[in-house]
Amino acid sequence: MNRGGEKIQDAVLITGAGQRIGYYLAKSFLQKTDYPVLFTYRTRHPEVDELLALGAIGFQVDFTSSDARGGVVKNIKKKAKSLRAVIHNASLWLSDDVIREGGGENFNALFQLHVETPYYLNMALAPLLKVSSENLTDIISLSDAGVKGVSSDHIAYLSSKAALQTLMKGFAKKFAPEIKVNDIAPALIMFNEEDDETYKQKRLAQSALGVEPGPEVVWQAVQYLMNSPYTTGTVLSLDGGRGVK
Ligand SMILES: NC(=O)c1ccc[n+]([C@@H]2O[C@H](COP(=O)([O-])OP(=O)(O)OC[C@H]3O[C@@H](n4cnc5c(N)ncnc54)[C@H](OP(=O)(O)O)[C@@H]3O)[C@@H](O)[C@H]2O)c1
């Protein structure tokens, strides 16, 4: 990969892959496919070093800075001749209480991360996707199943994820037929370390299947979208049957 300064081809880019779902996706691409992996991270968790050791190319970036966004695109173009897929995974899960305490900065961060960054990266990286040697190329985002419902405590967060879904549909129309553009809308995938038992039971009870599935189901959904020649402009629910509960 990138030996002797030669640019890599048909790479997969995953944002926010320094931990959890993004990390799992990056590691799965490295271990189960031949695609080179580019990833972004904000904090240097041990998982970042693991991905680098497996051959991925990482870029440290805080997407709330437009200069940093521009810088990462430049670096991606230095390393990669073409892209097979872009996966918008980086995210912040903030309640309205946290936003109120933190002021406008937190509100802006949600929209910078979930809307402005995917918009900018889609525009900037589409030329690399269009020159992939593969017939199918993809842009995939991760939104949230909560967008279908109504929340009174994550209003800003869900609004930004709803905007992400709308943005992706617009790009599906703009980039067809060369690039497929889809969103995955997950409900509970993985608990956070700090989640207590009461919270866990409440979340588990929200779906018909009632399990914490883990990141493998996101990998499966990504594989489905990347392998399908006939799916674009969709929001794929990954919610354990929340709608039939
Ligand atoms: N986990 C679930 O059950 C669940 C449910 C519904 C939807 N989703 C969606 O699935 C995706 C992955 O979920 P996850 O739980 O793995 O997310 P996560 O643990 O919160 O990881 C997201 C990553 O985004 C990075 N990030 C945050 N702010 C950033 C910024 N300003 N600039 C650059 N990177 C930034 C974080 O970096 P740091 O490491 O520095 O914090 C983090 O590594 C997200 O889009 C999420 O909304 C997940």
Q: What is the mean pLDDT of residues 22-39?
A: 98
Please confirm, yes or no, whether 199 is among the known catalytic residues.
no
Q: What is the pLDDT of residues 71-84, one digit of tens each?
A: 999 999 999 999 99
- By C-alpha distance, which of 146, 27, 23, 163 is closest to 89? 23
Let me know if 194 is exposed, middle or buried by CB neighbors in 10 A (0-12, 13-18, 19+).
exposed
CA 154 to chain centre: 19
Q: What is the pLDDT of residues 86-144, one digit of tens each?
A: 999 999 999 999 999 987 899 999 999 999 999 999 999 999 999 999 999 999 999 99
pLDDT at 28 over 80: yes
Residue 41 CA to ligand 1 center (angstroms) comes to 10
Residue 40 · residue 47 · CB < 8 Å: no
pLDDT band for 32, please (50, 70, 90 cuts). very high
Distance of alpha carbon 59 from alpha carbon 176, whole angstroms: 29
Domain assignment of residue 127, given as a range: 3-244
**Which atom of ligand 1 sits closest to the CA of residue 62?**
32
Count of the separate structural domains present in the chain: 1
pLDDT at 3 over 60: no
Task: Say what the pTM is.
Answer: 0.97
Q: What is the mean pLDDT of residues 53-74?
A: 97
What pLDDT, on the 0 to 100 scale, is given for residue 4?
55
Looking at ligand 1, which residue's alpha carbon is closest to its atom 13? 21
**Which atom of ligand 1 sits closest to the CA of residue 161?**
47
Q: What is the pLDDT of residues 5-15, one digit of tens each?
A: 799 999 999 99
Looking at ligand 1, which residue's alpha carbon is closest to its atom 11? 89
Query: Sheet containing 235-238: which strands, arranged edge to edge?
Result: 57-60, 37-41, 11-14, 83-88, 138-142, 180-186, 235-238
Which CATH number characterizes residue 112's domain? 3.40.50.720
**Contacts of 102-110 spanning 24+ positions with Cβ under 8 A:** 107/156, 108/64, 109/64, 110/156, 110/157, 110/160
Average pLDDT of every residue of the chain: 96
Looking at ligand 1, which residue's alpha carbon is closest to its atom 9? 142
Contacts of 52 (CB under 8 A, 6+ apart): 58
Q: Which of 157, 199, 224, 230 is catalytic?
A: 157
Residue 89 CA to ligand 1 center (angstroms) comes to 6
CA–CA distances in Å: residue 173 to residues 158, 169, 182: 23, 6, 11
Residue 22 CA to ligand 1 center (angstroms) comes to 8
Contacts of 113 (CB under 8 A, 6+ apart): 63, 64, 90, 91, 92, 160
What pLDDT, on the 0 to 100 scale, is given for residue 5?
74
What three-state secondary structure class fits 64? coil
Residues 129, 134, 140: CA angle, nearest 5 degrees: 50
Residue 3 CA to ligand 1 center (angstroms) comes to 31
**Which atom of ligand 1 sits closest to the CA of residue 63?**
32
pLDDT at 1 over 90: no
**Tokens at 52, concatenated:** 């680098």
Residue 15 CA to ligand 1 center (angstroms) comes to 9
Q: What is the pLDDT of residues 145-200, one digit of tens each?
A: 999 999 999 999 999 999 999 999 999 999 999 999 999 999 999 999 999 999 99
pLDDT band for 2, please (50, 70, 90 cuts). low
Cβ < 6 A, ligand 1 pocket: 16, 18-22, 42-43, 45, 61-64, 89-93, 109, 113, 142, 144, 186, 188-190
Mutation probe of ligand 1 site: the residue of 40, 42, 147 with most atoms within 8 A of C-beta:
42
Distance of alpha carbon 137 from alpha carbon 185, whole angstroms: 20
What pLDDT, on the 0 to 100 scale, is given for residue 34?
98
**Which atom of ligand 1 sits closest to the CA of residue 212?**
3
**Tokens at 237, concatenated:** 């629910």
What pLDDT, on the 0 to 100 scale, is given for residue 103?
78
- By C-alpha distance, which of 27, 7, 120 is closest to 70? 120
